[in-house]
Amino acid sequence: MSASVTRARRRPLGPGPVRFERRSDGCLMVLPEGRLGAYPRRLTERLEHWAAAAPDRLLIARRGPDGAWRGLTHAGMLEAARAVGQALLDRGLSAERPLVILSGNCLDQAVLTIAALHVGVTVAPVSPSYSLLAKDYAKLRYCLNLLTPGLVFANDRARFAEAIAAAVPPGTEVIGAEDVAALRQTRATDAVERAAAAIDPDAPAKILFTSGSTGLPKGVVNTQRMLCSNQQMLLEAFPFMGEEPPVLLDWLPWHHTFGGNHNLGIVLYNGGTMYMDDGRPVPGGFAESLRNLREIAPSIYFNVPRGFEELVHHLKEDPALRRHFFSRLRMMFYSAAGLPQHIWDEFDRLALAERGEKIPMITGLGATETAPFALCVREEYSESGAVGLPVPGVELKLAPVGDKMEARVRGPSITPGYWRNPEATAAAFDEEGFYRFGDALVPLDPADLSKGFRFDGRITEDFKLSTGTWVSVGPLRAKLIAALAPYVKDAVIAAPDRDWLAAILIPEPEAIARLVPAGEDPALHPGIRAEISARLSALARQASGSSQRVLRAVLLTEPLSLDAGEITDKGSINQRAVLARRAALVEALYAEPPPPCVIGVEP
């Protein structure tokens, strides 16, 4: 083990000391004791620093068709950003006429984004699924009409041609990969430096769209102050990033805040290197991630829970992969959904065997509106379901909403609002200017609040049974997954206005295969049905009431659909979309008598 890894592990990760104030209105205030350190006015000040301090260090790379990694150094990226920034200024782009990106992650998108940030041009990446998977382009058309773009980028214009014709406003310039190569030949003038110096830290730097799972997407304004303060918060929570430049292998999409702000920002801010992973934690997509992990040993590994679930199976079976993966790893970090405890425990076991110590598994609570880093676990109190405490610079208010405590935050990394949507902006903030997460929290330990908080469900996901009893979906779902591990990796809880609860279960194929012979339907196999029934029955006997008791379930053998919105780009499950699309399955769960696929609790 290297000395640098040992030093880093002696510094506990996570937020520093906080104080707690209980108010007469029932709110609990959680306030960091320390002040947030200084941060730049614009993110590319850090690129300028590293271009001078480590000009030849690789900043970002992607594997080419020949298998070789190709990319840009810190100095090369600054040169490209200045040239392309000049081309953007020449086109008169602004917040009112932003640069819109339709493509997925690519080197050209990185150059365009960083160039726009460098000269104060607003950039708006839009989910490629709105262009490539949609049937009517309604969401894409809505986003582009809201943005009124001055320039649109699609790396492969032929592939995006139909979406461009259907949704891009007439007369808007559209460029592809071949045009970006030409833009990089633009001669930068003093206008680039003047534009960079004139940037207003509180003006829109990015417009990032919410998922639109419950309606049309909202354009979240992200400012330079948000981006820069958030990166300083990350550095203070994870100080090892300032001791040795971080190395990332990352697939997370840049039109999401986790990939595009959090992870890409980390390498820009701390002089690190990002290797772009073209794999995905989806059936048939993870082989490329494994190929890359056999070559690139990350110092921080970011993924969604589904990605960690995929990886852990291969680490168990492949000693060489396991040795390489853990060789310089300092931290793992998951977001977007809860990580099942049995997956977490397996990573701990493998790390202990390989390194003689556990590697911190970190998570927190954030949103597109919070840039996203806002709450983070302390390393010593990290566990499945925990979200931690506010990081330096962020004030947390837990406000009573019914019988729950809603998390609300305020600070320099919080959005000023939604682009051209004053009604949604007003609804997102309370009377004291705190952004409402819509998530409920409870203490990990009511006797010691300094251990932090755990997720207590989305207030908007919760529903009532026909008896009027509220169902807290988030905690129940986590409890159900834990009880059915390792055979089930996720669950969707049904259903509002019924007398009792049922669930659609997402199976874990590897574990199911140990009981169910190949070719047989797991939903009808007596062995797996008996195992799930017994565990559901045990959970039901322990339940304190109907809101905690799942009486029937069904194994979903048909894959969830990204096209239908059942899973997001990051791999998390949209509970509402699943219930809506699988309405017939929900009806089967409540049918009398139930069909053969339904699993019930023991009498």
CATH number for the domain harbouring residue 586: 3.30.300.30
Total domains in the chain come to 2
Q: Which tens digit of pLDDT belongs to each residue from 372-426?
A: 999 999 999 999 889 999 999 999 999 999 888 999 999 999 999 999 999 999 9
Q: Which tens digit of pLDDT belongs to each residue from 119-147?
A: 999 999 999 989 998 778 999 999 999 99
If asked whether residues 349 and 482 sit together in one domain, one would say no
pLDDT of residue 92 exceeding 50, the answer is yes
Question: Pseudo-torsion of CA 400, 209, 280, 133, nearest 10°?
Answer: 120
Q: Which tens digit of pLDDT belongs to each residue from 269-317?
A: 999 999 999 999 877 899 999 999 999 999 999 998 889 999 999 999 9
pLDDT at position 524, please? 92
Q: Is residue 393 part of a domain?
A: yes
Q: Which helix (H) or strand (E) holds 331?
A: strand 331-334
Through-space distance between the first and last CA atoms of the chain, rounded to whole angstroms: 55
Residue 8 confidence class, pLDDT cut points 50, 70, 90: very low
If asked whether residues 358 and 474 sit together in one domain, one would say no
Strand order of the β-sheet with 395-401 is: 18-22, 28-32, 395-401, 404-410, 435-443, 453-458, 386-390, 373-376, 364-366
Residue 213 confidence class, pLDDT cut points 50, 70, 90: low
If asked whether residues 286 and 403 sit together in one domain, one would say yes
pLDDT at position 5, please? 42
Q: Is residue 299 part of a domain?
A: yes
Q: Is residue 104 part of a domain?
A: no
CA distance readout (Å), 88 to 91, 129, 187, 438 = 5, 26, 12, 38
CA–CA separation, 88 and 91 (whole Å): 5
If asked whether residues 516 and 413 sit together in one domain, one would say no
If one compares 518 and 270, the residue with the highest pLDDT of the two is 270
If one compares 207 and 335, the residue with the highest pLDDT of the two is 207
CA–CA separation, 133 and 443 (whole Å): 41
If asked whether residues 249 and 394 sit together in one domain, one would say yes
pLDDT of residue 173 exceeding 50, the answer is yes
If asked whether residues 384 and 473 sit together in one domain, one would say no
Q: What is the CATH number of the domain that holds 306?
A: 3.40.50.12780
If asked whether residues 296 and 360 sit together in one domain, one would say yes
State the DSSP code for 378. -
Instruction: Calculate mean pLDDT across residues 482-487.
Output: 90
Last residue of a domain, one of 419, 453, 485: 419
If asked whether residues 412 and 481 sit together in one domain, one would say no
Residue 537 confidence class, pLDDT cut points 50, 70, 90: very high
Token representation of residue 284: 């048939």
pLDDT of residue 2 exceeding 60, the answer is no
pLDDT of residue 581 exceeding 70, the answer is yes
What is the reported pTM? 0.85
Q: Is residue 155 part of a domain?
A: no
Q: Is residue 203 part of a domain?
A: no
Last residue of a domain, one of 419, 441, 471: 419
Q: Which tens digit of pLDDT belongs to each residue from 230-242?
A: 999 999 999 999 9
pLDDT at position 214, please? 56
Residue 45 confidence class, pLDDT cut points 50, 70, 90: very high
pLDDT at position 288, please? 97
CA–CA separation, 20 and 23 (whole Å): 10
pLDDT of residue 579 exceeding 80, the answer is yes
pLDDT of residue 471 exceeding 50, the answer is yes
Spacing of C-alpha 430 from chain mean position: 25
CA–CA separation, 490 and 338 (whole Å): 9
If asked whether residues 469 and 413 sit together in one domain, one would say no
Is the distance from CB of 74 to CB of 270 less than 8 angstroms? no
Q: Is residue 59 part of a domain?
A: no
pLDDT of residue 6 exceeding 50, the answer is no
Please, what is the average pLDDT of the chain?
A: 92
Q: Specify the range with the lowest mean pLDDT, choosing from 21-25, 187-191, 283-287.
A: 283-287
Instruction: Calculate mean pLDDT across residues 568-592.
Output: 83
pLDDT at position 569, please? 54
If asked whether residues 394 and 475 sit together in one domain, one would say no
DSSP string computed for 186-245:
SPP-HHHHHHHHT--TTSEEEEEE---TTSS--EEEEEHHHHHHHHHHHHHHSGGGGTS-
Q: Is residue 71 part of a domain?
A: no
pLDDT of residue 4 exceeding 70, the answer is no
If asked whether residues 353 and 259 sit together in one domain, one would say yes
If asked whether residues 391 and 474 sit together in one domain, one would say no
pLDDT at position 562, please? 65
Give CA angle at 144 (138, 150), nearest 5°.
160
Q: Where are the alpha helices (DSSP H) in 544-593?
A: 575-581, 583-589
Question: What range defines the domain where residue 569 resides?
Answer: 463-600
Q: Is residue 439 part of a domain?
A: no
Phi, psi of 304 (to 5 degrees): -85, 160
pLDDT of residue 451 exceeding 60, the answer is yes
CA-atom Rg of the chain in angstroms: 24
CB-side neighbour CA atoms (13 Å) of 332: 24
